[in-house]
A and B are shown apart, each in its own frame.
Chain A
């Protein structure tokens, strides 16, 4: 019992270390001082005002949202198709094919970033919306595939067979039987894709251009080049966005555990 208590105390410390340090950003963003100071002096919302009135920051926010939504749509559509295909195929090389799609998860980001930079330079895709969406799709799609595959594993194939027996075509069966049953996995995958794109830094740093920068790129440049506390307010806004989206994803996957009647 004492061992358990000791472990419990240790676990509490770990959790505090994981979560609390990040929260210093919140009081920082309401600071009155014009540089990074902790503890903050006074309370003001000037940095939020700064953010919402600065056309450059707003443009970055809009770009980020645009890229993230498009990435989510592309990665989810393509990823769901791939997961369906993989789940229906049974042959020896299947593991390899699956591994091929998941490979972007383990390749060092900087190497892929350099490769995409070189390729996009030649294809004139640097700093373009399609360039950003394609680059982000590469790192988001594996998450859609793994989430949807997990959902498909719990799916009773007899339901699809029954639907086919009753005369439904493949497309109809997918939209009226399969998709509703794997919806939690698809939703979670889509939200993961959104957050991955919204928070992606390394690839974006390499493929950015003065005309198109996502919010993390602007944050990174601001942190390394200036000492502007507006960045704390931006950080809080991105943090809230990610946390809200992930909470929804968490909620969606929770439902998955409920037995399908």
Chain B
């Protein structure tokens, strides 16, 4: 009884809402590991149905049809594959840049408006996430088709068209940017919200014009947000399947579709899984590189708030 009272007093004194004051930890002693038991179900499910499938993919990539690295040799020596890889990276980079350019002003505006407006702006950014990618892609298919309203307007106003919009890189990028924009805005906003608003007036007091002030003061301070938003959008973009499948052309497929094709159409498990491992390794490498570069960056840029 006294022990608890002391602990409570310490907790109250330190005002440590998150608890775990040193006294507590010592007292719990050997019991400290018991919460590990709570993690067992999650650990088992993730290990069996997440880690094991990935290991399975890796094993298949080096054993199917026979043991060896022939699938990786095939991956890196087939020109068509390299074209797909370059196209996938190119599209992901394009989408990342477009998202950054669109999201930056939006996120900045969020930092200078009233709380009420900001909440609304955040809601508007989150709302598209409430509708499945499939439904949104379906909508773009209707809008972008040759007989669709966009081409209809172009014909009525400018007398041109129909311009091919669907089955083009433009269509794919448009759909991907719409889906990925929120993943850029949210980290940008959270890093911009931490920037002291007095810095820009201070810079101009010291003689910097708004452009210089922005590039030498504001932009560098918002770098963490640019990194985590950029990385999230880029790696999510690399793995997109539905949008390129429905808005792109079958002649310009991306890695995900190539993987699906190798496995479901050609039944080439080894080649498909080698491509999968390649995509996975690229994703992990980018994350590791960026988390090194960006010291307080989390491995889960989209998750931390």
- Report which A residues bind B (CB closer than 8 A): 4, 7-8, 10-11, 14-15, 17-19, 21-25, 28, 36-39, 77-79, 81-82, 84-86, 88-90, 97, 99-112, 114-119, 134-135, 137-138, 141-142, 145-146, 150, 153-154, 156-158, 161-162, 164-165, 195, 198-199, 201-202, 216, 219-220, 223-224, 231-232, 235, 238-239, 242-243, 246-247, 250
- Cβ of A246 to closest chain B Cβ, rounded Å: 4
Contact of B297 with A by CB under 8 A: no
Query: Do B42 and A156 have beta carbons less than 8 Å apart?
Result: no
User: Contacts of B60 on A, CB cut-off 8 Å?
Assistant: 118
In angstroms, Cα B12 to Cα A37, docked, is 66
User: Contacts of A22 on B, CB cut-off 8 Å?
Assistant: 128, 131, 135-136, 139
Query: Do A19 and B46 have beta carbons less than 8 Å apart?
Result: no
A-B contact count (CB 8 A): 255
C-beta contact mask, B19-43 vs A, less than 8 Å → 1, else 0?
Answer: 1100001000000110111110111
Query: Do A25 and B135 have beta carbons less than 8 Å apart?
Result: yes
Query: Do B19 and A157 have beta carbons less than 8 Å apart?
Result: yes
In angstroms, Cα B218 to Cα A178, docked, is 42
What DSSP secondary structure best describes chain B's contact surface? Answer: helix
Query: Do B57 and A118 have beta carbons less than 8 Å apart?
Result: yes
Q: Which one, A107, A117, A223, A242, contacts B280 given CB within 8 A?
A: A107
Contact of B97 with A by CB under 8 A: no
User: Contacts of B127 on A, CB cut-off 8 Å?
Assistant: 18-19, 243
- Cβ of A86 to closest chain B Cβ, rounded Å: 7
- Cβ of A12 to closest chain B Cβ, rounded Å: 9
- Cβ of A134 to closest chain B Cβ, rounded Å: 5
In angstroms, Cα B42 to Cα A145, docked, is 10
- Cβ of B295 to closest chain A Cβ, rounded Å: 15
C-beta contact mask, B116-156 vs A, less than 8 Å → 1, else 0?
Answer: 00000101111111111111101111110101110000000
User: Contacts of A100 on B, CB cut-off 8 Å?
Assistant: 43, 46
In angstroms, Cα B106 to Cα A22, docked, is 21
Contact of B276 with A by CB under 8 A: yes
